[in-house]
Amino acid sequence: MRYLPFAIAALMGAAPALAQAPQIGERHLDVVPRTPAEAARIATVTAPTTDFAAPEPFEANQGGAGTVRRRSDAQAFSLPKSNLSFAQGAEFSVGNGLFERLWVTAPASTIASDGLGPMFNTRSCQDCHIKDGRGHAPAGPDDDAGSLVVRLGIPLMSDPATRADLERYLGADPDPVYGHQFSDNAIPGVAAEGQVSVEWIEAETVDLPGGERVTLRRPHWTLRDLGHGPMDPATRISPRVAPQMIGLGLVEAIPADDILAHADPDDEDGDGISGRAHLVWSPEYQAEMLGRFGVRATTPTLRQQAADAFNADIGLASPLRPDPAGDCTPAQAGCRDAPHGMDDEQGGFEVSQQSLDLVTFYTRNLAVPRRDAVDDPQVLRGKQLFYEARCTACHVPKFVTHRLDETRAEDSFQLVWPYSDFLLHDMGPGLADGLPAGQADGSEWRTAPLWGIGLTQEVSGHRQFLHDGRARSLSEAILWHGGEAQAARDHFAALNAENRAAIIAFLESL
């Protein structure tokens, strides 16, 4: 993977005027352009290290100035950034209340909380993102779907021909009856779409040097008890567990050009890594933007992500997703005719603009915890091995965010360590689900950020990784890597037990 020079804002000194014509990916930000001198500095600061004898400067503060102390309990991902003002802290608390709000069926006396459904997956944001951490997959065929959603779609047979095609949710035709997302709950009087069931199958046993044996499990998903008739046989399904929520505002503030600098879609350097940027249509800004969020980078901004989740997961209308029937299709007449909570006091929606903005502010400002044991010899050795395996070709260690105006001062000019390039990569047939999303095909996934991964057990009460929770350990997650990551996976699998443990110790420190 090529490491092209990035721009970096100076830590000190006067800032130039605000940009008047934001570039692709920056329409959501008021950006202060970088000078040539600042660009030279970022090339130095973000260049890959070659010294593994000691931690790099500021490496422990992986969330920049907003990094918070590392906790070993379930609250580790629920803290506000440490650099928020007092007023912002209050706004964060109100947003947290809305994130935890349990929505009820309309009509209700609490007009600010009604409008649930008609079909839905959950009643609150917190029900999926428990303690702002990762969700979990069902344990077996009869287990509740928990914090998992199932996306649906019929793959398009050709590239989108029109702007309307590009705007389609997830870039695939919906199932004619069940739409783009499977809803396993519904309000009284409306039939739920059915239930999600999984059978875990032993897919492969991997024998590693030193006598360790790792068994990989593969999910076999079934949508059963369908409440609205048969599903189109061409419909593909893609189950995903809810991701952790930390550091999202910092990701939103990374310059698009710095992400694009890592893209090599035609693998011109011949290293086998061909990350692709996902350019998506933003209904919020009526423009093409860089996708940053979601397992296939289908969403460009956190406000859009919040609106999409309110609509598809809870069945709520907002200014960006104004349909109160959520994902109900025209074939589901009972769902589309059900009561809704649209109200003038909410701006004519179920989720007002103010509420949407408060939830966006909350999700934008969940802090990244401080790194652990950055100077531990085993962790430093694991970091070196992580680099030598070329895991950093996709899991890019560090970026510097844009210099922003005073409205986003907490995210302005921060050296951050997400360990992701936020690009699409072909991960091979083992992880493919066959459901395209916009420009991403069914085997491509956005590189997942790794910060906070060592606290998964403490926050979520489990150790399930990858998009569908199939991996029960970090070793399993690595061994599922294929496609562009096959060489890195094989490098890990060939290491002796001591060196594998060092890589795991490094990941646990994040």
Q: How far is residue 119's CA from residue 315's CA, in Å, rounded to a whole number?
A: 6
pLDDT at residue 25, rounded to an integer: 62
Q: Look at residues 311, 349, 341 and name the one whose alpha carbon lies nearest to residue 119.
A: 311
Rounded to whole angstroms, the Cα distance separating 468 from 121 reads 16
Reported as a single tens digit per residue, the pLDDT across 40-99 is 899 899 999 999 999 999 999 999 999 999 999 999 999 999 999 999 999 999 999 999
pLDDT tens readout for residues 243-295 = 999 999 999 999 999 999 999 999 999 999 999 999 998 999 998 999 999 99
Number of domains comprising the chain: 2
Helix, strand or coil for residue 195? strand
pLDDT at 26: 83
Backbone angles phi, psi at 446, to 5 degrees: -70, 140
Beta strands in 179-270 (DSSP E): 181-182, 185-186, 195-207, 213-224, 236-241
Q: Evaluate whether residue 38 is within a structural domain.
A: yes
Percent of the chain exceeding pLDDT 90 equals 83
Q: Tell how many helices (H) and how many strands (E) occur in the chain.
A: 14, 15
Please state, rounded to an integer, the average pLDDT across all residues of the chain. Answer: 91
Could you tell me the two tokens for 104? 């009820």
397 token code pair? 């260690």
Does residue 196 lie in a domain region? yes
Tell me which residue of 493, 406, 497 sits closest to 204, measured CA to CA: 493
Q: Let me know whether 231 and 263 are in one domain.
A: no
pLDDT at 12 exceeding the cut of 50: no
468, 216 in Cβ contact below 8 A?
no
Residue 2 reports pLDDT greater than 80:
no
Residue 322 CA, chain-centre distance (Å), reads 23
**Residue 208: which domain range?**
86-246+302-364
Question: pLDDT at position 1, please?
Answer: 34
Q: Are residues 437 and 473 both part of a single domain? A: yes
User: Phi/psi at 387 (nearest 5 deg)?
Assistant: -70, -45
Asked whether residue 117 falls in the same domain as residue 240, the answer is yes
**Could you tell me if 238 and 271 lie in one domain?**
no
**463-492 pLDDT, tens digit each:** 999 999 999 999 999 999 999 999 999 999
CA nearest 105: which of 119, 89, 93?
119
Identify whether the C-beta of residue 368 lies closer than 8 Å to the C-beta of residue 452. yes
Whether residue 90 is found in the same domain as residue 234: yes
Q: Are 334 and 413 in the same domain?
A: no
Q: Does 376 lie in the same domain as 353? A: no
Query: Residue 10: is its pLDDT beyond 70?
Result: no
Q: How confident is the model at residue 197 (pLDDT cuts 50, 70, 90)?
A: very high
**306-338 pLDDT, tens per residue?**
999 999 999 999 999 999 999 999 999 999 999
Which amino acid, residue 306?
A
State the Cα–Cα distance between residues 321 and 351, nearest whole angstrom: 10
How many whole angstroms separate alpha carbon 332 and alpha carbon 19?
47
CA nearest to 64, candidates 345, 411, 321, 373? 411
In this prediction, residue 156 carries a pLDDT of 81
Q: Is residue 18 part of a domain?
A: no
- pLDDT, tens only, 125-153: 999 999 999 999 999 888 887 789 999 99
- pTM: predicted TM-score of the whole model, two decimal places: 0.93
The angle subtended at Cα 441 by Cα 193 and Cα 326, nearest 5°, is: 30
CA distance 239 to 246: 22
Give 158: exposed, middle or buried? Use CB within 10 Å, 0-12, 13-18, 19+: exposed
> Whose structure tokens read 């069931």?
197
